[in-house]
Amino acid sequence: MKEDILIRFGKQLKKLRNDRMISQEELAFRCQLSKNYISDVECGRRNISLKAMDQLSKGLGIELFKLFQFKEDQR
């Protein structure tokens, strides 16, 4: 069964953040977003905007498209 795009995106964000050993709080500070917002995105509870995606990619120091490089069946 395919996972919802919000869940897959959130898992990818969490993976990228953890790979860089950045806490949710640190990423939130870098992106000028709240820690709760980061948590909600990672859990698939937020329908994130393009502007917020851009902020996240900059906060992680990656190109925007890398936020979408997840496998279709990522779990």
Given a contact cutoff of 8 angstroms between Cβ atoms, the answer to whether 64 and 54 are in contact is: yes
Phi-psi region of 65 (alpha: psi -120 to 50; beta: other; left: phi over 0): alpha
- The answer to whether position 21 is within a domain reads yes
Render pLDDT for 36-75 as a digit per residue (tens, 0 to 9): 999 999 999 999 999 999 999 999 999 999 999 987 654 4
Residue-level pLDDT at 73: 52
Whether 15 is in a domain gets the answer: yes
> Per the domain annotation, does 74 fall within a domain?
no
8 A C-beta contact, residue 3 and residue 75 = yes
Domain presence at residue 75: no
Both tokens assigned to 56? 């996240």
| pLDDT score at 74 | 47
Q: Identify the CATH number of the domain in which residue 32 sits.
A: 1.10.260.40
pLDDT for residue 1 is more than 70: no
Is pTM beyond 0.85 here?
A: yes
Please give the pLDDT value at position 9: 96
Domain that residue 47 falls in: 5-65
Residue 72 lies in a domain: no
CA 62/CA 10 separation, integer angstroms: 16
- Rounded CA separation 26/3 (Å): 28
Number of domains in the chain: 1
| 21-39 average pLDDT score | 97
Does residue 36 sit within a domain?
A: yes
